[in-house]
Structure 1
Amino acid sequence: MEVKSNQNGFYADFEYGRLTVSGHEEEGFRPYQLMVASIAACSGAVFRKILEKKRLQLKSMTIKAKEERVPEEADRLKSIHLHFVLKGERLRPDIMEKALKTAMRNCAMVRSVQGSIDITESFEIIP
């Protein structure tokens, strides 16, 4: 990966397009937004894969991420709560809870920030 600077921040070009990163939301994604989104998407992908191995099909999954930052410490990310809203057939709460715990233990992004950012999760099953 190659990240280049410009007058508004930084950018990286990938096969699927350009990723623009800036400290100003009007100019690009803010770094903390990318980190939170990466953690949510990674854990969601691992969770989905675990459910597929159990032959459980999700019709939809929405992950609501809420972060807490510490202004006194350069606005560092202190914690992230991931709330999974799940829709599908035969989704039992006990199976979802176990699968979600397994996903969090096996997500590379969650593991990468372990000990630095407190990550918690919850879920709900909707009809």
Structure 2
Amino acid sequence: MELIQPSETLELVHAHGNWSISQDSGFSPVQLIAASAAACSTYVFEKLLDERGIPYELKKVLFDYQLGVYYPNPVTRVDVQFFIKANARVRNEIEHVFYQIAENCPVIQSLHPRIKINESIIFD
């Protein structure tokens, strides 16, 4: 991976288009941490559900994060909400798999233990 600085913002080089990384425009590095945790959680959740043959439809994933109040204001919490459409008879199975996300997500496993990951499911 490569970072370049063609202007005042950094860009993460990618074959399908560079990502702008800046606190003023594009994604901030802190937003990328939260997005990485949410994306990894999503990939892991879907993989675990698919491996078990559990029928579901992932409608959307929303996430937010909170920073600490004292400098250097590290990420203290990432909230991830999975909006899932599923038959009532498989919801318990989905919830069982849901609790296995953190132990199978390399991004969450890489974060400092003080960063709380709050994940929830909203069934449609």
Q: Which TM-score applies when normalising by structure 1? A: 0.86
The answer as to 2:8 corresponding to 1:8 is yes
Q: Could you tell me which amino acid in structure 1 is paired with residue 110 of structure 2?
A: S
Instruction: Name the CA distance, whole Å, in 2 between partners of 1:48 and 1:61.
Output: 12
| 2:115 alignment partner in structure 1 | 117
Q: Measured at CA, do residues 114 and 57 of structure 1 come closer, stay the same or move farther in structure 2, by a change above 3 Å?
A: farther
Quote the residue 1:103 is aligned against.
101
Aligned-residue RMSD, C-alpha: 1.7
Instruction: Please state whether the residue corresponding to 1:74 is helix, strand or coil.
Output: coil
Give structure 2 stretches of 5+ with no counterpart.
Answer: none
State yes or no: 1:17 paired with 2:17: yes
Other structure's SS at 2:113 match: coil
How many percent identity over aligned positions? 23
| Higher strand proportion (structure 1 or 2) | 1
Distance 1:91 1:29 in 2: 40
State the secondary structure of the residue aligned to 1:71: coil
* Partner-residue secondary structure (3-state), 2:100: helix
Q: Number of matched residues?
A: 124
Which sections of structure 1, spanning at least 5 residues, go unmatched? none
Between 1:65-74 and 1:103-112, the stretch displaced more is 65-74
Supply the distance in 2 between the matched residues of 1:47 and 1:95 (Cα, whole angstroms): 12
Offset at residue 88 of structure 1 (A):
3.0
CA contact (8 A) 1:56 1:91 kept: no
For 1:12 and 1:66, locate their aligned partners in 2 and report how far apart those are by CA, in whole Å.
22
Query: Post-superposition, which runs of at least 4 consecutive aligned residues in structure 1 deviate over 4 A?
Result: none
* Cα deviation, residue 90, structure 1: 5.5
- The correspondence for 2:86, drawn from 81, 85, 88, is 88
For residue 44 of structure 1, report the CA deviation from its aligned partner.
Answer: 0.5
Shift of 1:16: 1.6
- So what's the TM-score if we normalise by structure 2? 0.88
